[in-house]
Structure 1
Amino acid sequence: MAAPTVSTAHFVNGTFTDDAGERIDVVNPATEEVIASVPAGTPEDADAAVRAAASAFEAWAATPLGDRVAAVRRINDGLKARAGELAETIVAEVGTPIVFASKVQVVNPVGITEGVLAEVEAGAFDPVTVGNSTIVREPIGVVAAITPWNFPLQQMVAKVTPALVAGNTVVLKPSEVAPLTAALLAQIIAEADLPPGVFNMVHGTGPVVGEALAAHPLVDMVSFTGSTRAGRRVAAVGAETVKKVALELGGKSASVVLDDADLSRAVKITVANCFMNNGQACSALTRLLVPVGRHDEAVEVAAAAAAKYVPGDPSQESTRIGPSVSAAQRDRVVEYIRKGVEEGATLAAGGPEPVDGVGYFVRPTVFGDVTPDMTIAQEEIFGPVLVVMPYEDEADAIRIANGTQYGLAAAVFGADVDRARSVAGKLRAGQVDINGAAFNTAAPFGGFKQSGNGREFGRYGLEEFTELKSVQA
């Protein structure tokens, strides 16, 4: 699939602006072909964008709420109008299968924005009286939004639209690995006729542009999605100016199958979740916890399910799993698979062997006999690798599920829903699905422990982009 025919330049103060400096190639991971390039932004580019946002803030914050809602609604209308182009672009630069790109990667951002606007119209910003105090929510100021490559549109929209409707101005730094979706989003926002400087975008790498934004004294908040390692750096840099930092980071999410669950159904749902978006999802259920007496059965079901995920051309509707996003990411995943074999896990499906032909493909892999101390049970792999772990009893399952540095997501399967809810309440994770419940873009999304802080989506995500003020009279 081809690159979009919109500008791939920076967008600063209402204008697409490029320079003659270095470029960053964008590679289609399924074909290994360079399909576009974007400018390698500099600290000076970041500074210009921040200053434009700072200059525009006062007027935008004073803009009537109804006008801000209307502007964000125009953005969402643009997303819907260009849904097909957005999906094709995500396929081309991320390798996401077209069906998943169309039905999830593009649909979710529209739903997120609609949910945020619904909360605003339902009175999310209405003053609250507490005794002799009136409590109001006001915009924070200039928001730097630093976003990842795996769900490029969703994570940009989850930051940009609530920040804008709350009255903030924004500087977006999209991933340099997948910046073409951002180019489309910038075009959509440009056509939504916001005042210059309200939304800005600077391409470039995290260590250069990302750090410049996190450190900038005129940036009032950083909203970052990415790895835990990078999130620690953003938090440290942001702390120098005591700005607010919201972090949505990594995960090693557990799927706990209780002894009364429909094992086959639970395993198949877990495999599908683990392999979604080519295994490149921070909330993916990558650890399958099953009763020790049913471990072998679970491994067999998981391996059979994995066999249906045949790596293929992500532009074809029949493809269920595409490539890793880059050669480096593929190699990282393969190294984890080798590590699992070396540490004694049983390889039940897949493996480290290369997939024939071009493209950064990885064999969908299932490990059995995985113990909590193994590397593949503790570290985020970010690829189509599922580990099956036996547990002795419910307390042991909870201990294993909570036994990592992460706490982003989890799942519980069981016939007794009350019991499943009780187990869910003991899992240290920001969101827990019971029996394969659907993802909810209006519910808060975020993690415990080193999976980050703050929340996105719906009212709670909207409130992240506001400050509380109390006025006594």
Structure 2
Amino acid sequence: MLPQGVNIAHPDKLYIGGEWVLPHSGRQLEMVSPNTEQVVARCAEADEVDMDKAVAAARAAFDTGPWPTLPPAERVAAFRKLVAHLETRVPELAAAWTAQMGGLVSFAGPMHGGGVMGLAQIADFAEAFKFVEQRPSMGAAVGLVVHEPVGVVAAIAPWNGPFGIMANKVAYALLTGCTVIMKPSPETPLEAYIIAEAAEAAGLPPGTVNLVPSHREAADHLVCNHGVDKVSFTGSTLAGKRIAQVCGERIARCTLELGGKSAAIVRDDFPTEAAAQLLTGTLNTLSGQVCAMLSRAIVPRHRHDELAAAIKQEMAKVVIGHSDDPATQLGPLAMKRQLERVEMYIEEGKQTADLVCGGGRPSHLNQGYFIEPTLFANVDNHSRIAQEEIFGPVLCLIPCEDEEDAIRIANESNYGLNGSVLTQDAEAAYQIGRRIRTGGFGQNGLRMDFGLPFGGFKQSGIGREGGPEGLWGYLETKTMLLDALPAGL
């Protein structure tokens, strides 16, 4: 059972060791449409036995090759074949995302087309990377710094951006010479199937890419397997802490891109109506289900009420509807438990702040996981709705006394993933941005470029993905001191 427009050859099987195999348990995962609450797809579910088989296959492919020992140029050439296959399947990727997660059909095509283009850019980074460098040395005639693949990578991706996040992990792993085990979210595994089929079509060696969709228990078993050299995880901070603990016990490597509670500082030189439009439009992105979402707006106290009224007006204009309707601006939340989580925070917020608008389910939609865009005003930055990641279309408006106070409030968070300042002064944006403790910062909105490094400070993560820097997390550095320069270098 697959959504319309999605063609996967073996959804009932796992991809392990270059073969499509039935799951050990015989169980299947069900994907539920957030628009209709109906099952729209099924696929194989991996258990602990399957995880061990996938690790063994990836381990053998890494330890005996040939993938890790291929010249980097040959890996790049093979990876470009994988990308070429994905280019032909952008419409399927878009359809899968809309069906499983409720992503807007108006955004799905450009999002996934851009994601595939980004993979070609990562190949360019790898092509230009110096895997072997000669350095001056006082200890030998020849000093070499060699960058080698870290080993077997468990790539664990979330449900909000399942293709782009998983594909980037696979790209960096493969291009550095690692072998990889894909563990997609149980709610959105179909994109990973398409990636596995692309690896098969590109002729990658058996075991180089493996696919094992599962629930949390089997995923934890995968992370705990000592055959895994590195875990690359994108998801909640709570799950990231567990992965960091497990990896720390055996000194395994990990890259963690975790949660956020990012702030947008509104300066006095930025018009109120423009700020209201920008903040409301940003909140509509993936129904607020973005780790880097600007979910706290910090505004001078004398402008607070005026901005709250303007945002209320903008939120009233938002078109809420099914994600497959091109006119929809705000689609559903991805699943029932996410809707319940957002509703819990809204009830919490009513106790500590002023509910200006939203907070309920749209009256014209009696089915699906829909919630109105919601604004809380006069929010205390110490409250739960200001400190905890809600992951929904809920905006907290926080008053400040002046710019120094705004910077203090923005930094008063356990997270540090993203941030913004709304200003017409680029110099002021730079100076403020340098003082905000986040891995990313943009002038005038939620601005992201995955061709540049992406990641967080504090509890928003460890390491960086994106840009040439993304290669570093999948490499080990070796120093070699020799009596002469080897042939071919």
Q: How many Å separate the matches in 1 of 2:334 and 2:467?
A: 29
Alignment of 1:65-104 (within 5 A): 65-104=72-111
Alignment of 1:306-385 (within 5 A): 306-343=315-352, 345-353=353-361, 355=363, 356-385=365-394
The one-letter amino acid paired with 1:75 is L
2:182 paired with 1:182 = no
Q: How many Å separate the matches in 1 of 2:117 and 2:407?
A: 33
The one-letter amino acid paired with 2:228 is V
Q: How many Å separate the matches in 2 of 1:272 and 1:192?
A: 39
Report how far residue 438 of structure 1 moved. 4.3
Q: How many Å separate the matches in 2 of 1:112 and 1:463?
A: 17
Taking structure 2 as the reference length, the TM-score comes to: 0.93
- Structure 1 SS opposite 2:480: strand
Matching residue within 400, 412, 415 for 1:391: 400
Q: Any idea what the Cα deviations from partners look like across 1:157-216, whole Å, max 9, x if unmatched?
A: 1100111011000001000011112222222222111011000010111222x2122111
Q: 1:34 to 1:122 in 2, by over 3 A?
A: same
Report how far residue 264 of structure 1 moved. 2.7
2:21 paired with 1:17 = yes
Q: How many Å separate the matches in 2 of 1:263 and 1:135?
A: 54
2:265 paired with 1:256 = yes
Q: Any idea what the Cα deviations from partners look like across 1:42-74, whole Å, max 9, x if unmatched?
A: 111011011101111132111121111012111
- Structure 1 SS opposite 2:321: coil
- Structure 1 SS opposite 2:397: strand
User: Residue in 2 aligned with 1:43?
Assistant: 48
Which structure 2 segments of 5+ residues have no match? 483-489
Taking structure 1 as the reference length, the TM-score comes to: 0.96
The one-letter amino acid paired with 1:445 is F
**Superposed CA RMSD:** 1.6
- Structure 2 SS opposite 1:307: helix
Report how far residue 435 of structure 1 moved. 2.4
2:275 paired with 1:266 = yes
Bigger shift: residues 154-163 or 117-126 = 117-126
Do the aligned residues in 2 keep the contact of 1:27 with 1:36 (CA within 8 Å)? yes
Do the aligned residues in 2 keep the contact of 1:221 with 1:244 (CA within 8 Å)? yes
Q: How many Å separate the matches in 2 of 1:265 and 1:124?
A: 46
- Larger Rg: 1 or 2? 2
- Structure 2 SS opposite 1:261: coil
Q: How many Å separate the matches in 1 of 2:349 and 2:5?
A: 37
Do the aligned residues in 1 keep the contact of 2:420 with 2:445 (CA within 8 Å)? yes
Report how far residue 418 of structure 1 moved. 1.0
- Structure 1 SS opposite 2:59: helix
User: Residue in 2 aligned with 1:26?
Assistant: 31
Alignment of 1:52-451 (within 5 A): 52-57=57-62, 58-104=65-111, 106-132=112-138, 133-208=143-218, 210-343=219-352, 345-353=353-361, 355=363, 356-436=365-445, 438-451=447-460
Q: 1:439 to 1:107 in 2, by over 3 A?
A: farther
Matching residue within 3, 6, 15 for 1:4: 6
Bigger shift: residues 377-386 or 124-133 = 124-133
Q: 1:130 to 1:444 in 2, by over 3 A?
A: farther
Report how far residue 246 of structure 1 moved. 0.9
- Structure 1 SS opposite 2:434: helix
Report how far residue 240 of structure 1 moved. 2.3
Report how far residue 385 of structure 1 moved. 0.6
Give structure 1 regions of 4+ aligned residues with deviation exceeding 4 angstroms.
Answer: none
The one-letter amino acid paired with 1:23 is Q
Do the aligned residues in 2 keep the contact of 1:215 with 1:240 (CA within 8 Å)? no
Q: How many Å separate the matches in 2 of 1:316 and 1:164?
A: 37
Do the aligned residues in 2 keep the contact of 1:100 with 1:277 (CA within 8 Å)? no
Report how far residue 231 of structure 1 moved. 0.6
Q: How many Å separate the matches in 1 of 2:92 and 2:5?
A: 10
- Structure 1 SS opposite 2:198: helix
Query: Aligned pairs, how many?
Result: 470
Report how far residue 263 of structure 1 moved. 3.4
Q: 1:124 to 1:206 in 2, by over 3 A?
A: farther
Q: 1:315 to 1:437 in 2, by over 3 A?
A: closer
Between the aligned residues of both structures, percent identity stands at: 39
Do the aligned residues in 2 keep the contact of 1:170 with 1:199 (CA within 8 Å)? yes
- Structure 2 SS opposite 1:471: strand
Do the aligned residues in 2 keep the contact of 1:278 with 1:324 (CA within 8 Å)? yes
Which structure 1 segments of 5+ residues have no match? none
Q: How many Å separate the matches in 1 of 2:369 and 2:306?
A: 31
Q: How many Å separate the matches in 2 of 1:436 and 1:179?
A: 30
Report how far residue 225 of structure 1 moved. 0.6
Bigger shift: residues 299-308 or 49-58 = 299-308
Do the aligned residues in 2 keep the contact of 1:12 with 1:197 (CA within 8 Å)? yes
Q: How many Å separate the matches in 1 of 2:324 and 2:456?
A: 32
Q: How many Å separate the matches in 2 of 1:128 and 1:280?
A: 46
Do the aligned residues in 2 keep the contact of 1:108 with 1:441 (CA within 8 Å)? no
Q: Any idea what the Cα deviations from partners look like across 1:401-428, whole Å, max 9, x if unmatched?
A: 0111100000012222112211100001
The one-letter amino acid paired with 1:140 is V
- Structure 1 SS opposite 2:317: coil
Q: Any idea what the Cα deviations from partners look like across 1:362-412, whole Å, max 9, x if unmatched?
A: 111111111112211111000011111111011110111011110000001
The one-letter amino acid paired with 2:40 is I
- Structure 2 SS opposite 1:127: strand
Q: Any idea what the Cα deviations from partners look like across 1:278-325, whole Å, max 9, x if unmatched?
A: 111100110111111111121122222222322211112111111111
Q: How many Å separate the matches in 2 of 1:239 and 1:69?
A: 32
Bigger shift: residues 65-74 or 258-267 = 258-267
Q: How many Å separate the matches in 2 of 1:215 and 1:160?
A: 20
Q: How many Å separate the matches in 1 of 2:425 and 2:204?
A: 51
Do the aligned residues in 1 keep the contact of 2:319 with 2:327 (CA within 8 Å)? no
